[in-house]
A and B are shown apart, each in its own frame.
Chain A
Amino acid sequence: NAGVTQTPKFQVLKTGQSMTLQCAQDMNHEYMSWYRQDPGMGLRLIHYSVGAGITDQGEVPNGYNVSRSTTEDFPLRLLSAAPSQTSVYFCASSKTGFYGYTFGSGTRLTVV
């Protein structure tokens, strides 16, 4: 099993550009989440999903969109990148949300 796979690992964007961070898991987990991690701020929840077709906002959702068309995939879209979105992004999944989360290796995003 590959676990949780995130791509790309590194990305540099210009302000105003759009992109999609990919996240896929092969553990048949229902829960998937996106977090961003900034120095001194810890991990903050952006969006999460409790199953295919169901998504909800977390603590810091502005500027990000998500969708969940399959159990395996949970992409995060930045529609118009801003320097404030420079961060490390982690995708995580859990069997039901009741259990611990498994994290992907992260995407380091820089917006210039």
Chain B
Amino acid sequence: GQNIDQPTEMTATEGAIVQINCTYQTSGFNGLFWYQQHAGEAPTFLSYNVLDGLEEKGRFSSFLSRSKGYSYLLLKELQMKDSASYLCAVRDLNSGAGSYQLTFGKGTKLSVIP
């Protein structure tokens, strides 16, 4: 089975930097994804890490440490539109079925305040 943990809620100020952490335990780790989900909408892809280190995409960066089972999403220069839930998802290789599965954490609701 899998266990994916991330904080339930966070609040940050417009223009600031916020880090959303995700820890996981899994048997067949094969990559970690971050998704953004605005209220009432579908999740949209933000970033992907399969090797250790930092991946940067504009204002968003994601870090992975496979040995620690740890990832974080870093959001810089926060804007009001960044208020959303951020979902950490781990891709497992199901060696028995020969297929991949994507399992999500419960999400972190980020509120950006003026």
The residues of A with any CB-CB pair to B shorter than 8 Å are: 31, 33, 35, 40-45, 48, 50, 56, 58-59, 90, 92, 94, 96-98, 100-106
Give chain B interface residues in 78-109, CB to chain A under 8 Å: 87, 89, 91, 97, 99-107
Contact A90:B42 (CB < 8 A) given known A48-B101, A56-B99: yes
Set of chain B residues within 8 Å of A31, measured between Cβ atoms: 99-100
Majority DSSP secondary structure for residues of A touching B: strand
Whether A103 lies near B43 (C-beta < 8 A) is yes
Contact A50:B99 (CB < 8 A) given known A42-B104, A42-B107, A43-B104: yes
In Å, the complex CA distance between A103 and B45 comes to: 9
CB distance from A10 to the nearest CB of B (A): 12
Give chain B interface residues in 6-27, CB to chain A under 8 Å: none
User: How many chain B residues touch A (Cβ–Cβ < 8 Å)?
Assistant: 22
Set of chain B residues within 8 Å of A50, measured between Cβ atoms: 97, 99
CB distance from A100 to the nearest CB of B (A): 4
CB distance from B64 to the nearest CB of A (A): 15
Set of chain B residues within 8 Å of A48, measured between Cβ atoms: 99, 101
Whether B105 lies near A42 (C-beta < 8 A) is yes
Contact A40:B45 (CB < 8 A) given known A58-B101, A97-B99: no
Whether A105 lies near B99 (C-beta < 8 A) is no
- Other contacts beyond A101-B33, A101-B45, A106-B42: 15, CB < 8 A: A33-B102, A42-B87, A43-B89, A48-B101, A59-B103, A97-B99, A97-B100, A98-B30, A98-B31, A98-B91, A100-B33, A101-B102, A103-B44, A104-B42, A105-B42
CB distance from A74 to the nearest CB of B (A): 14
Q: Which B residue sits closest to A31, measured CB to CB?
A: B100
